[in-house]
Amino acid sequence: MAALPILCYPDPRLHTVAKPVVAVNDAVRRLVADMAQTMYEAPGIGLAATQVNVHQQVIVIDLSDERDQLQVFINPEIIWSSEEKKVWQEGCLSVPDFFDEVLRPSEVKVRALNLEGKPFEIHADGLLAVCIQHEMDHLKGKVFVEYLSSLKRMRIAGKLKKKTKAGAL
Protein backbone atom coordinates (compact mmCIF):
# COMPACT_ATOMS: atom_id res chain seq x y z
CA MET A 1 0.00 0.00 0.00
CA ALA A 2 1.09 3.53 -0.71
CA ALA A 3 -0.39 6.91 0.04
CA LEU A 4 -1.28 8.74 -3.15
CA PRO A 5 -1.09 12.50 -3.84
CA ILE A 6 -4.49 14.20 -3.58
CA LEU A 7 -5.43 16.73 -6.26
CA CYS A 8 -6.26 20.15 -4.86
CA TYR A 9 -9.05 22.43 -6.13
CA PRO A 10 -9.06 24.19 -8.62
CA ASP A 11 -6.98 21.52 -10.42
CA PRO A 12 -8.81 20.88 -13.72
CA ARG A 13 -8.25 17.10 -13.40
CA LEU A 14 -10.87 17.14 -10.63
CA HIS A 15 -13.43 17.80 -13.37
CA THR A 16 -12.64 14.61 -15.28
CA VAL A 17 -15.58 12.21 -15.46
CA ALA A 18 -14.58 8.74 -14.20
CA LYS A 19 -15.10 5.67 -16.35
CA PRO A 20 -16.73 2.48 -15.04
CA VAL A 21 -14.42 -0.26 -13.79
CA VAL A 22 -14.46 -3.04 -16.41
CA ALA A 23 -13.30 -5.84 -14.10
CA VAL A 24 -12.65 -5.95 -10.36
CA ASN A 25 -9.13 -7.40 -10.39
CA ASP A 26 -5.91 -7.17 -8.38
CA ALA A 27 -5.10 -3.73 -9.85
CA VAL A 28 -8.46 -2.36 -8.63
CA ARG A 29 -7.99 -3.99 -5.21
CA ARG A 30 -4.52 -2.40 -5.00
CA LEU A 31 -6.03 0.97 -5.92
CA VAL A 32 -8.64 0.54 -3.15
CA ALA A 33 -5.91 -0.30 -0.60
CA ASP A 34 -3.86 2.74 -1.67
CA MET A 35 -6.93 4.98 -1.57
CA ALA A 36 -7.85 3.73 1.91
CA GLN A 37 -4.34 4.44 3.20
CA THR A 38 -4.43 7.89 1.58
CA MET A 39 -7.83 8.67 3.14
CA TYR A 40 -6.74 7.49 6.61
CA GLU A 41 -3.46 9.44 6.51
CA ALA A 42 -5.10 12.65 5.22
CA PRO A 43 -7.22 12.16 7.51
CA GLY A 44 -10.62 11.98 5.87
CA ILE A 45 -13.82 9.94 5.87
CA GLY A 46 -14.20 9.45 2.12
CA LEU A 47 -12.15 9.51 -1.06
CA ALA A 48 -12.98 9.10 -4.75
CA ALA A 49 -10.44 7.80 -7.24
CA THR A 50 -10.77 11.06 -9.19
CA GLN A 51 -9.18 12.89 -6.24
CA VAL A 52 -5.98 10.84 -6.67
CA ASN A 53 -5.99 11.36 -10.46
CA VAL A 54 -7.32 7.88 -11.28
CA HIS A 55 -10.45 8.29 -13.35
CA GLN A 56 -12.27 5.08 -12.52
CA GLN A 57 -15.52 4.76 -10.59
CA VAL A 58 -14.13 3.76 -7.20
CA ILE A 59 -15.01 5.23 -3.79
CA VAL A 60 -13.77 4.40 -0.28
CA ILE A 61 -15.55 5.55 2.89
CA ASP A 62 -14.97 4.93 6.60
CA LEU A 63 -17.10 6.79 9.12
CA SER A 64 -15.97 4.78 12.14
CA ASP A 65 -14.01 6.37 15.00
CA GLU A 66 -11.67 3.36 15.05
CA ARG A 67 -11.05 3.64 11.26
CA ASP A 68 -11.78 -0.07 10.84
CA GLN A 69 -15.02 -0.17 8.85
CA LEU A 70 -13.91 0.54 5.31
CA GLN A 71 -16.73 0.59 2.75
CA VAL A 72 -15.89 0.22 -0.93
CA PHE A 73 -18.18 1.22 -3.79
CA ILE A 74 -17.13 0.27 -7.32
CA ASN A 75 -19.25 1.63 -10.20
CA PRO A 76 -21.75 3.13 -7.73
CA GLU A 77 -25.10 4.44 -8.90
CA ILE A 78 -27.87 6.08 -6.95
CA ILE A 79 -31.03 4.14 -7.72
CA TRP A 80 -33.30 6.13 -5.38
CA SER A 81 -33.09 9.35 -3.41
CA SER A 82 -35.56 10.87 -0.96
CA GLU A 83 -37.55 13.95 -1.78
CA GLU A 84 -36.66 15.24 1.68
CA LYS A 85 -33.43 17.21 1.63
CA LYS A 86 -31.10 18.21 4.41
CA VAL A 87 -28.29 20.76 4.74
CA TRP A 88 -24.93 19.39 5.87
CA GLN A 89 -21.63 21.09 6.61
CA GLU A 90 -19.22 19.56 4.08
CA GLY A 91 -15.49 19.59 3.65
CA CYS A 92 -13.21 17.84 1.18
CA LEU A 93 -9.65 16.51 1.08
CA SER A 94 -9.30 18.28 -2.30
CA VAL A 95 -10.42 21.59 -0.75
CA PRO A 96 -8.41 21.61 2.50
CA ASP A 97 -9.50 23.83 5.39
CA PHE A 98 -12.76 24.98 3.75
CA PHE A 99 -16.21 23.92 4.88
CA ASP A 100 -19.66 25.05 3.80
CA GLU A 101 -23.28 23.98 3.80
CA VAL A 102 -24.66 21.86 0.95
CA LEU A 103 -28.28 20.78 0.45
CA ARG A 104 -28.65 17.11 -0.53
CA PRO A 105 -31.28 14.36 -0.39
CA SER A 106 -31.38 13.04 3.18
CA GLU A 107 -31.53 9.38 2.08
CA VAL A 108 -30.24 7.42 -0.91
CA LYS A 109 -30.24 3.85 -2.13
CA VAL A 110 -27.04 2.89 -3.94
CA ARG A 111 -26.11 -0.08 -6.10
CA ALA A 112 -22.41 -0.89 -6.54
CA LEU A 113 -19.86 -3.69 -6.78
CA ASN A 114 -17.74 -4.87 -3.84
CA LEU A 115 -14.08 -5.93 -3.88
CA GLU A 116 -15.06 -9.37 -5.16
CA GLY A 117 -16.94 -7.80 -8.07
CA LYS A 118 -20.31 -8.84 -6.62
CA PRO A 119 -23.23 -6.38 -6.80
CA PHE A 120 -24.81 -5.07 -3.61
CA GLU A 121 -27.30 -2.40 -2.59
CA ILE A 122 -27.26 -0.16 0.46
CA HIS A 123 -29.81 2.24 1.89
CA ALA A 124 -28.02 5.19 3.48
CA ASP A 125 -29.12 8.16 5.53
CA GLY A 126 -27.38 10.77 7.65
CA LEU A 127 -23.65 11.26 7.21
CA LEU A 128 -23.24 8.10 5.10
CA ALA A 129 -25.79 9.37 2.56
CA VAL A 130 -24.01 12.73 2.40
CA CYS A 131 -20.59 11.11 2.03
CA ILE A 132 -21.74 8.77 -0.75
CA GLN A 133 -23.31 11.66 -2.69
CA HIS A 134 -20.23 13.86 -2.15
CA GLU A 135 -17.83 11.17 -3.40
CA MET A 136 -20.10 10.24 -6.32
CA ASP A 137 -20.04 13.90 -7.35
CA HIS A 138 -16.25 13.57 -7.68
CA LEU A 139 -16.75 10.66 -10.09
CA LYS A 140 -18.90 12.99 -12.21
CA GLY A 141 -16.19 15.67 -12.15
CA LYS A 142 -17.94 17.86 -9.58
CA VAL A 143 -16.43 19.33 -6.40
CA PHE A 144 -18.67 20.36 -3.49
CA VAL A 145 -17.71 24.03 -3.86
CA GLU A 146 -19.66 24.05 -7.12
CA TYR A 147 -22.82 24.09 -4.97
CA LEU A 148 -21.65 27.44 -3.56
CA SER A 149 -21.92 30.91 -5.07
CA SER A 150 -19.42 31.87 -7.76
CA LEU A 151 -17.97 34.50 -5.41
CA LYS A 152 -17.25 31.89 -2.71
CA ARG A 153 -15.74 29.53 -5.30
CA MET A 154 -13.44 32.27 -6.63
CA ARG A 155 -12.29 33.16 -3.10
CA ILE A 156 -11.59 29.53 -2.22
CA ALA A 157 -9.73 28.93 -5.48
CA GLY A 158 -7.64 32.06 -4.96
CA LYS A 159 -6.71 31.14 -1.38
CA LEU A 160 -5.79 27.56 -2.36
CA LYS A 161 -3.66 28.79 -5.29
CA LYS A 162 -1.77 31.10 -2.89
CA LYS A 163 -1.23 28.24 -0.43
CA THR A 164 0.02 25.99 -3.23
CA LYS A 165 2.48 28.66 -4.47
CA ALA A 166 3.68 29.21 -0.92
CA GLY A 167 4.28 25.46 -0.55
CA ALA A 168 1.67 25.17 2.22
CA LEU A 169 -0.20 22.43 0.31
- Alpha carbon distance 160, 164 (integer Å): 6
Residue 34 in any domain: the answer is: yes
Residue 56 in any domain: the answer is: yes
Cis bond before residue 119 (omega within 30° of 0): no
**Confidence tier at 163 by pLDDT (50, 70, 90):** confident
CATH of the domain at 116: 3.90.45.10
- Mean residue pLDDT of the chain comes to 96
Q: pTM of the prediction?
A: 0.95
Rg, the chain, Cα only: 15
Residue 165 is predicted with a pLDDT of 80
Residue 167 is predicted with a pLDDT of 74
- Say which of 77, 83, 84, 135 is annotated catalytic: 135
**Confidence tier at 76 by pLDDT (50, 70, 90):** very high
E strand or H helix that includes residue 81: strand 71-81
- Alpha carbon distance 70, 77 (integer Å): 18
**Owning domain of residue 23:** 12-166
E strand or H helix that includes residue 5: none
Residue 25 in any domain: the answer is: yes
pLDDT in tens, 95-150: 999 999 999 999 999 999 999 999 999 999 999 999 999 999 999 999 999 999 99
Concerning whether 90 is annotated as a catalytic residue, the answer is no
Residues that constitute the known binding site: 92, 134, 138
Residues that constitute the known binding site for Fe cation: 92, 134, 138
Check whether 161 has a pLDDT greater than 80: yes
Q: Which residue has the higher pLDDT, 2 or 115?
A: 115
Residue 1 in any domain: the answer is: no
**Residue 16 near residue 50 (C-beta atoms within 8 A):** yes
State the chain's maximal CA–CA distance in angstroms.
Answer: 45
Residue 160 in any domain: the answer is: yes
Domains in the chain: how many in total?
1
**Confidence tier at 151 by pLDDT (50, 70, 90):** very high
Check whether 38 has a pLDDT greater than 90: yes
pLDDT in tens, 51-70: 999 999 999 999 999 999 99
E strand or H helix that includes residue 136: helix 126-139
Residue 6 in any domain: the answer is: no
14-40: average pLDDT: 98
Check whether 88 has a pLDDT greater than 70: yes
Check whether 156 has a pLDDT greater than 90: yes
Check whether 169 has a pLDDT greater than 70: no
